[in-house]
Every structure is written in C-alpha cells, then in structure tokens.
Amino acid sequence: MLEHLRLLSRYNQWMNDKLYNTVAQLPADALARDRGAFFGSVLGTLNHIMVADIIWLQRFSEHPSQHPALDEVRSMQKPLALTQTLLDDFTVLSEERRKLDITIINWCEQLDASDLNHKLAYRNMKGEAAVKKFASLMLHFFNHQTHHRGQATTLLSQQGLDVGVTDLVALITSE
C-alpha cells in the first residue's frame, strides 16, 4: 500500500504538470468562463482541487506521527468552502500547485507502513465528526484529484486542447 500511495503522489504531480501546462495555453477569459462544470470554469475546477487538497492535508497533518513535510500545510489558512477561489491569478495558482505537489510527494516518502492503520478523527465541511482509516482516506484524497482533473481535461478538450496521456499505467514500472 505504501508504494502504491507513493506512486499516486508522483502521478498527481505528473498529471498536474501536464494539466497546468495545457491550461496555460488558454487566454484568461477562457480560463475563467463558466462552462457548466461542477465548479463552473477551468479556473474554478483547479481551485476546487487545491482547496480540497489543502483541507485533506490539514486533516492528515493531525496524524500522531506529525510528518514534518506537512509543517507548512499546518500553518495555511483553512479554506472556508469547497467552492472557494483561493487564487484567481493562474500563474500564482500554478506556482502554488507545484509547491503543494512537492509537499505531497515528500509527505508520502515520510510515511511508514504503520502510519496507514491509524484511525483519523476529523470534521467534514458541514462540521460532522468522522473517524476513518488513514490509508483509505489517502486513497480518497488521490481519487478526488483524479476525478476533478478528468473534468478539467474534458473542459480543455471541448476547447480543442489535448492534455495527452493521462493513464496511471504510464508511470508503472516493471520493478
């Protein structure tokens, strides 16, 4: 499981690099135009992914192991809503995305197999308490990113832009 999570962290970075490089081809008005997606625009979708990542990483930072890679995340302001626009400047959003992806990779490298069995207690965005297995929540974290990146690639495709290969299998080695 630990190696799979590390693979997903690298996949996350690889896909975000591909996605953001493709999005950079859009003019600002096309980036922010409401296209009827869950979060409206391409920019809204990218912001949602970042918001959710920060929320989950802040929850994960409460793990008893206190992984040092998440120190910076602990000090970030907590997003107030899943629809929140953290950054409306694409260049700044892109820079922050790259930093967050490095944090995710470093954090996954710091994880120990024993960390994965921890039961994480947290509150969802509605304030409801939950307790769930840490490893399963991490799988949700990576799956959520993939889900919404799929929406973003569809929005790009509708505008004639191709992100290219998006399959995890492209990063799976034979070792």
Q: Report the CATH number at residue 22.
A: 1.20.120.450
CA atoms within 13 A on the CB side of 85: 12
In eight-state DSSP terms, residue 37 is: B
Tell me how far apart the 2 most distant CA atoms of the chain are, in Å: 47
User: What b/e readout covers 122-152, taking b as 16+ CB neighbours within 10 angstroms?
Assistant: beeeeeeeeeeebbebbeebbeebeebbebb
- Quote the Cα angle for 145-156-81, to 5°: 40
Average per-residue pLDDT in the chain? 96
**Which residues are registered as beta bridge partners of 119?**
133
Residue 157 has pLDDT above 90, yes or no: yes
Residue 92 has pLDDT above 90, yes or no: yes
What range defines the domain where residue 163 resides? 2-171
Q: Tokens 């629809």 appear where?
A: 83
Domain count, the chain: 1
Q: Identify the pLDDT of residue 174.
A: 83
Mean predicted confidence (pLDDT) in 113-132:
96
Cα distance from N-terminal residue to C-terminal residue, the chain: 15
Residue 146 binned pLDDT confidence (cut-offs 50, 70, 90): very high
Coil, strand or helix: which one is 35? coil
Q: Could you tell me the pTM of the whole model?
A: 0.95
- The answer to whether the CB of 107 falls within 8 A of the CB of 69 is yes
Mean predicted confidence (pLDDT) in 27-48:
95
- Return the sign of the alpha-carbon dihedral for residues 9, 114, 54, 148: positive
